[in-house]
Amino acid sequence: MGIYTKKGDSGTTGTLASKDRIRKDSVKIRAIGAVDELNSYLGVTASYSENSQTKEFISSLQRDLFLLNSILAGNKARFGTEKAKRLEKKIDELDKILLKLSNFILASGTKFSVHLQYCRSLSRRAERQVVALSQREKVSTGILKYLNRISDLLFTLARESNFRAGVTEEIWK
């Protein structure tokens, strides 16, 4: 089977949920695309980490996002709130070693940290797109919570990267 089908040449695509083709600029496809963009950039970001456990954790996030996207495309799988709770647990673990923030910080520091900050902004876009989709069709609470938490997690991972490298956070005032 070839990689190209030519079926999308007219600006439409297919999903698991429908036999009908839908426009590539639809709310659903924009949401799926934003999650895909985050997922692929997480792979780029992981390449900047030298810690195998951190790389594996990012891979687990990517697997979650693939499942999440398959559900948005029509897969009947379940995406419960336990996945968001796993992210909360990781955030809480990292917060114990980080200095408390009283100001905004700039996305700066290690290459790994700044790439995580970019992933954080991509996750916010994905969340906005999925929230827009949720105004038109049912999106599980688990998906919405996960997308809200992943940005917090990515921010915290970015801070941890700088902390472990001895890089001082750049405060914005």
* Residues 55-92: tens digit of each pLDDT: 999 999 999 999 999 999 999 999 999 999 999 999 99
pLDDT at 22: 82
- Would the pLDDT of 159 be above 80? yes
pTM: 0.91
Write b or e for each residue in 55-65: b if 16 or more Cβ atoms lie within 10 A of its Cβ, otherwise e. Answer: bebbeebbebb
CB atoms within 10 A of CB 153: 23
What single string gives the DSSP state of each residue in 13-80? EEETTEEEEEETTSHHHHHHHHHHHHHHHHHHHHTT---HHHHHHHHHHHHHHHHHHHHHTT------
Structure confidence at residue 5 as a pLDDT band (50, 70, 90): low
Cβ neighbours of 88 (radius 10 Å): 14
* Domain 23-72+81-91+108-165 -> CATH class: mainly alpha
Report residue 173's pLDDT band, with 50, 70 and 90 as the boundaries: confident
Instruction: Report the percent of the chain where pLDDT is more than 70.
Output: 91
Dist. CA 118–CA 155, nearest whole Å? 9
Per-residue model confidence (pLDDT) at position 19: 73
Please name the residue that has the structure tokens 């827009």: 132
Lowest mean pLDDT among 4-13, 22-31, 115-124, 164-173: 4-13
Q: How far apart are CA 22 and CA 28, in angstroms?
A: 9
Q: How many CB atoms lie within 10 A of CB 104?
A: 10
pLDDT, position 11: 73
Is it the case that residue 146 has pLDDT exceeding 60?
A: yes
Q: What is the DSSP letter of 108?
A: -
Is pLDDT above 70 for 132?
Answer: yes
Residue ranges per structural domain of the chain: 23-72+81-91+108-165
Confidence of residue 10 (pLDDT cuts 50, 70, 90): low
Average pLDDT of the residues in 17-40: 87
Name the average pLDDT for the chain.
Answer: 92
CA 51, 53, 55, 58 torsion-angle sign: negative
